[in-house]
Structures are given as structure tokens and as C-alpha cells.
Structure 1
Amino acid sequence: MNKNITIRPFAESDRERLREIYLLCRIQAFYWCDSTQFKLEDFEAHIIGEQIHVAMYGAVIAGFISVWAIDSFIHHLYVEPAYRAGGIGKALLALAISMYPKPLTLKCLVKNELAINFYKRQGWQVIENGSDVLGDYYLMEYR
């Protein structure tokens, strides 16, 4: 792991920055959706009951992962665009793999090809197809 990257548990002081990252990344990743439907407040609604881990690049919050621990389900993994390709996503996944029982699962929207390719490079496999309000998705698994 890059020595500039550290991962720590969520602190309340992280909330505003994570809200911003969540909104920005969703607007960029889900380009086919009407982005006016995405709001800063979505962060709170979408992470209820989840364990959140924050990735720091030096002193900067660069991304986060949230996990529904009961099912070892990765609900969100977002990295600030300026910090992508620096190992932060890999570090967040590695933390989840080390902390939660296997198999781990996640959903990735079919149109989000960059993310699908990222997960496949990290050893994740598509095990099911589904559909929700944002479109078709793959259920992916890591054993």
C-alpha cells in the first residue's frame, strides 16, 4: 500500500467531506442518470447502520467504503476523482477483505464499466444480474 494512504474509522468530523465525495462521485459515475436527483443529504440516508472506513491521503480525506457488516456487503466505495489510480480503492477493498467474513458481495451498475473492470482486476466475480432504480447491475462476489 502507498505509504501516504491510511484508513481509519469514520469520525463525525468527516461527514461533510464524505457527503461531498459521495455526491460528486455519483454524478460522475452514473452519467446516464438525471444528476438533479442526487443530493448531499443522500449520504445520511444511504449509510444507515453501515460501518464506514475513511481513506486518507496524507492529511486529506480521499475516499471511503461503507459495509453492511451483517451480510459482508460493500454498499459504497468512492474515491475522490483527484486521488483515483493511486491505490486508495485497492486499499479500501483490502481492508474490507481483511475485516469481514467471506464471501463479500457488492452491486455494481452494468453501465459503470470502469468500476466493473476495477473490481474484476481485484479478483471479484459476477455471480448474478439484477435491476434497480438506477439501472441494471451485477452482483459481484469475492471469496
Structure 2
Amino acid sequence: MTRPDLDLIIRPAGPSELDVVLALYNVSRAMAGCFNGGDATRVEFLGSIDGEDVHVATRADNIVGFASVWVPERFIHHLYVSPAHQRAGVGSALLRACEARYGRPLSLKCVTRNVRARCFYAQHGWRCEAGGVGEDGPWEHWHSPLASPPGR
């Protein structure tokens, strides 16, 4: 059995790629249908990732997903996959890459209305431990498992 993520390359984003990452961010958020507001501007987006490590997932030299991590807290601030490449192993590969690079535990916040994302994290053994309310409404604070689930 072949894994669909074998043709993915996950690497640090280059400065010249941030406009592509911004476009993916805006499209992914719009398609999710659970975020308030319109598209982020370049200035807003660059401000939101300032000081974070940004990694892109590429397939055939096209950026199909990205993750940004606030390293001091091992906090995944953004993890988005192009709608055309969802359910193809991209998000899973990004999570594994973050775990390999930064170790566990990792954490992230997920908008409560983003049911698909919450299911995705739960399927990977993550657990919701707290929550709050932000500009996009209620959110949940998720934490990675301390050990790899069996079979991974």
C-alpha cells in the first residue's frame, strides 16, 4: 500500500513564497466557512506569522499546504491545506513534520465551528483541553499526544 503523502516535500518557506502562502491561507479559510471577516491583507498576514517558523508542503513544486509555529511554546499557529489537496495526507504530513522538528507536546487553537479540523485533530490523537472566545467566535485549545499512536 502506498501512502499518498510520499510525493510531498515539507520544507521551510522562502520569503518569495509568502504571497502564495497568503493566497492559500485566504482560500482555505473562505472554503472552511467558519471564519469571520474577509481576506487577510499581506501586511496582516505577515504580522500574524512574525517570529514564527513557516513550513510549506509542496507537491510537484506547488505549495499545497503550510504550517507556522511559534517555537518558544511549540504552538502551531496556522495549519492550512489547499482545498484541492485536502484528504490527501498533506495535513497529516505537516503535523508529523512539526512533531519531528519541535517534539511533543505541541498545541494549537481551533475554531469550534471548524468541525472538519476538530475531527482531523481528534483522529490524530490530539485532545481538547480548554477553550475561549476570539474574533472568530468560540475556539478550543488542542494538545498533541505525548507518545505516537500505535501504527504511526
Q: What TM-score range do you get, normalising by the shorter chain?
A: over 0.9
Displacement of 1:30: 4.0
RMSD over aligned Cα, in angstroms?
Answer: 1.3
Q: Tell me: CA distance 1:118–1:19, structure 2 relative to 1, closer, same or farther (3 Å).
A: same
How big is the shift at 1:28? 2.0
Aligned to 1:108, the other structure's residue is in SS state strand
Q: What residue is the counterpart of 2:110 in the other structure?
A: 108
User: Offset of 1:4 from its aligned partner?
Assistant: 1.4
Q: 2:18, 2:112 → 1: CA distance?
A: 29
User: What corresponds to 1:136 in structure 2?
Assistant: 138
- Give the structure 2 partner of residue 90 of structure 1: 92
Task: Return the offset for 1:32.
Answer: 5.5
Structure 1 residues 14-69: Cα deviation after superposition (integer angstroms, max 9, x where no partner): 1111010011112222445243xx32323212100000111001211111000000
Q: Which residue is equivalent to 1:48?
A: 50
Equivalent position amino acid for 2:41 in 1: L
Matched, 1:118 2:142: no
User: Does the residue aligned with 1:114 lie in a helix, a strand or coil?
Assistant: helix
Q: How many residues are treated as equivalent by the alignment?
A: 141
2:70 alignment counterpart: 68
Q: Which stretch shows the higher mean deviation, 2-11 or 112-121?
A: 2-11
Structure 2: where are the runs of 5+ without partners?
147-152
| Identical-residue share of aligned pairs (%) | 34
Instruction: State the partner residue of 2:40.
Output: 39
- Report the Cα distance in structure 2 between the residues aligned to 1:112 and 1:28, rounded to whole angstroms: 11
TM-superposed CA distance for 1:3, in Å, is 2.2
TM-score normalised by L of structure 2: 0.87
Q: Which runs of 4+ in 1 moved over 3 A?
A: none
